[in-house]
Each structure stands twice: as C-alpha cells, then as structure tokens.
A and B are shown apart, each in its own frame.
Chain A
C-alpha cells in the first residue's frame, strides 16, 4: 500500500467541525435518521472524498472515519450499516460513471438517507467467480434497453429500490468487452424477486428474474460495451467495504470471543487460551493494517489491496466463530429454530445468536468474491505473478463453454 497524499491537519479539523455542527443541529436521538443522514449528505460528509454537491468535500477518503466516529458517538446510525451495498459500492460507482451530475445527485441523496436501498445484480447461476461470463442480455430499443436473464444470490433485492446490473450487449465480443452496466429500477414490471433461503434458515439473498425489464439509456453507467470497467469499480469498492473499517481494539467478532471467554471460566483450557490469543493478535494485525491503509488512503479509487482485507476479514470471522463454538461446548449445538426469515439487513445483527453468526460466517469466504479468487487477485495484480491460463478471454463470449 503506497503512501498517498497525506491529509493536512486543517482538512481534519474542517471535517471534524462540520460533523459536530451537523450532529448539534440534528441531534441523532431526537430527529429521524433520514434527516440526520440527509444533513450529512448536504454538508458533504456522507463520503468526504466525493465532489462537493454530491455528498462530499473532495477530501481524502481516510477522513471519513472522523465523521463516522462523531455520528456514532452521538448515538447516530451508520448509513453504511443500513444500506451497505448502496453506501459501499453503489455510490462510488454512480459518482464516477453517471451520465450527468443531476442524475448522480438524484440517486445519491436518497441512497445516503437510506430511503432507497441498493442491491448488486452481478452473479448469475452460471457466472459467480467469473462475473464477466454472465449471460443476461440487454438489447437496445430506441432510448431504452430491454433486459432478460436470471440473477442469483442477490442480497437485499427484496427491499431494494435500485439495482446495479451488468448485462451482455454484444455476445460476439470476448466476454469482458461485450458488457454494459445499468442502474435498474427494482419496482418496475419484468423484475421478479424470489427469496432464496440460506443454510442459516434466513433469506437475505434472492433470485431475480428479468423478463423484458426496460431501462432508459440515461440509467446506463459508462459506455456501451465498457461495463466491465465500471464493474471493477464496484468490485474493488466491495472488497474494501467488506474488508471493514478499523474499529477500536478488541471490537467486532473478537469481542464476542472475549466476552464468551470471560463469561465461561469453567470451559477454559490451555489449548483454547492459545487459540484465542492467536486470534486476538491476528485481529489486531488486521485492524492495524486497515488503520495504516486509511492513513494513506487518497481520494482515488481503492486498488486491489482491498482484497487483502477482504480475505483476512472473511477467514478471521470464520476462525473466531469456530473458536466460539468450541468454547461454548455442547450448548453450541442448540439452535433456536430454522424458520425462514427475510432479513432486511445484512452484517452485524445484534439480535443474532452466536450459532447463527457461526453459520453465517461460512458465507464470508464466498460472498464478494471467494478466498480463492482473492488470492488469485493478490498473486496476479499485486504481486505481478504470471496470469492463470485463460481459456476464454480472446474468444467471442458466444463460443466459450459455460455451466
């Protein structure tokens, strides 16, 4: 992670002052969250690195944590927690690729207030790790595009207003070149969202069927046929978002392990003790790495380094929850019930039981790109190792075997 432009003390002070002002004028404990989040957007504090007028101040990304800290300390919500895909991935993609500033603003403000939840319609039954292999088609019809296909594992599609969708506009080009990126109105005809149940019993993701769903050309992000470039922006932001933000020492999943450890002295053994201190130390190394990356974060887009934190966070989560299960002993094998529930949030649900989080953690090394794919990215794009043999990149998409 190369050192970026360092932020000046005056920028930090400016952000801090602005955030305190918003929180003072819109006390999080008395105003609705929409109002507070809207005021943060208007003050350029939703994403401080965005341009002014679009929820930002054109400052270093690293300063965002000052805002978040002040808002949370005042009892306010983190927009990111309410609309993770919107905040983490939708907004950075829109800000870079929307066709007009008005269009970007029209999407971003309700996204920031969380009135509009966003989802990401990338994966398909035949295209997961290989997103660029997707088969959903978009055919131009005057000022509109007509989409047909099936998306899968779409988190929060059932509560979303807008979806980021990638579709194939030219099957005769090699797979990366025939794609185009759109923002899809999830409430229109031709968009059919069906719950897809997970091994936890919950259904936070969905299948989405697109049958002649129409998208105005104005909702296209980036050039026709250049959808892969736009998708990369989304994906890199996804990794950074999933990889997490550097919190305080001993917070997050490890806090649960520590809580359990202190609550169950009778279950302690030297073996578990050693495991816990190794996990704690690794969590700390991860946290410090995130903090270091934030110090050097510039206005620019996140690079493939985001894959480091995504990879580590995913595997650490699994290890920590596996540890908790072992520490909990036989009780770990008790479970409330597997009744199908529709989650309207993802991530840290304070009401979830430990077992539920343990089961949920199995997804961490799959969602947002599998750990195997993360390691490929680190090897090839960060370390510059030779690329994998590609059977498909130069051939027309139409001719590549899929299944």
Chain B
C-alpha cells in the first residue's frame, strides 16, 4: 500500500537508503540497525549517517568485526520480535556469517513450522567498479538465490532502493539486500574513463518523502522495446541502457529488482514478444544467476526464441585490482552480445 506522497526531491541512492532506514525506524520501534562502523560514524558509505543521533544507541550501534556474530545475533533478535537490519560492510565479508544465514535464518520458519521467524534484512554493498580489488568487489548474489528461504533484492535507482528497502524491512522473511555501490552516487555507463554521472537529473532519483513501498517480486520494465529483451539488475541496467542507446537498439530492458522471488511473468512476456534474450550480470559466470535465468527462459520461451540466449557476465576469476576494468562486463562485452543477437 502506497500512502499519500507530498514532496518530490532528487536523491542519491545512498541518501535514499538512509531515508528508508529513517522512515522505518520512525514507524516501527522494533527496527534496529547495527554493523561495523554504522553507529556514531554512520557507516563507511554513510548509509546509516544520523541514525544513532536520531534513534539512540539502543537501536543503532556498532558491532565487533564478526559477521557470524552480527547475523547470529540478528536471528536471535528476530526471534525475540525485533526487526533487525544488520549491515555487512562489504558483500565480500558476508561469508563468515553464511552459516547463520543459510542454515539458520533461512530455515527458522520452516524448521519450527512458523513458531519462530527471522525477519532480518541484511544490507550489504556489492559489486565492483571502485577499485576495491578482490576483497571489496564481489557479487555473491547467486549463493543466496540457491538457498530456500532467503529473498534476494537488488535495487537500481534511488526510488527503488528506498521503496524496496522499506518492503524488505517489513517482510517477515530474511532478505539479503545487495546495494550496487558503484551507483550509490549516480548512474554508471560502464566506461572506466567516464565518471559516474550524478543522480541529480536521472530517472529514478525522484524520491518521495516519507513512506512508500516497491513490492518484492515485481520486476520493472526500464524501457519498452522490440529488438530483444535485456534482463539485468543493479549496476548492469545502467550499462545496458548506455550500450543500447549508443547502438540505437530498441531493446526492452527489464530490471529484475528481486532475484528471489523472481518475477518470471514479466520476463516470459517480454522474451515471447521480442524473441531474443540477453542476460547480464557482473558476478562470475559459472553457476551465476544468469544460468538459472537462461534455463527458465529456455523452458518457457523456447519456441519463441529466434536466437540462442546470450549471457554477459564477469569472468570466472577473482576480481583483479589493477585489471578491474578488464574484468567488468562493460560496453564492449555487452556490445558484442547485442550485435550477435541483432544479426541472428
């Protein structure tokens, strides 16, 4: 339910996320925010700036450097009746907390037949493009989509970031909320020599004040088109848009917004219309979410396909610091795939 919206302002994604946290902490006294450096300092990306001052140390606090403890404590808090929103400073550091996410948070409702739930929202910046090297650039979303019981959400605009985060916090299931940090401050065309453009003039940066939601499980058609369906999320939406714009391709671009639950209906409808499917993600190729998407499209749209499904992804290597831009699935790699599909 969307409530009455008053003013419209343009915000950066990081500001929109901060605002979502403010809104939810204001609305629900059970929402608590914690993680490394999130309290007084407001987080390394400033996502939690001002929260401790506004809501006090009992509801916004720093934690030890211990992801297992952060997520494990969040599970216990959720069982108590709070709505914890822990931050994992970089998605690359989520692994020590994986058992608590995969074996505990994800299965709590199932194993207790609904007696206990873990309504936590784990926020974490992910993806490359900031010269973070192999330990600050990973995109581990496929790990989480493989786990029954978790929801995986990835916003692509400030508007969505706020609305999706509010939905995630209100959701009674554990949600992994991956924030594409490359586009925290503006859309990114994929060219390393071109800076991120400020969000100020871009679509999706008009963020209403106060409470509104963007539902989980509903994809967004970024632009309608006939030539092919481009299915992506997060940073890659912006790169795909730039490539299609440059090449003058009338593509239909679909921002999945949530990988689980997946809006298969929108994907299916689009591919049946265009007959061609390009899937883009930054994560490593093998076992990536693109494989799942590709299989689903093949199962459901095979007789409508006019060309093989194309996947553009990161390489199956760790993210190399000095060769980050060679790794990144940028305009060249995407452009080649687009050309192949156009020729088909």
Q: Do A and B come from one complex?
A: no
Residues of A within 8 A of B (CB): none
Chain B residues in contact with chain A, CB under 8 A? none
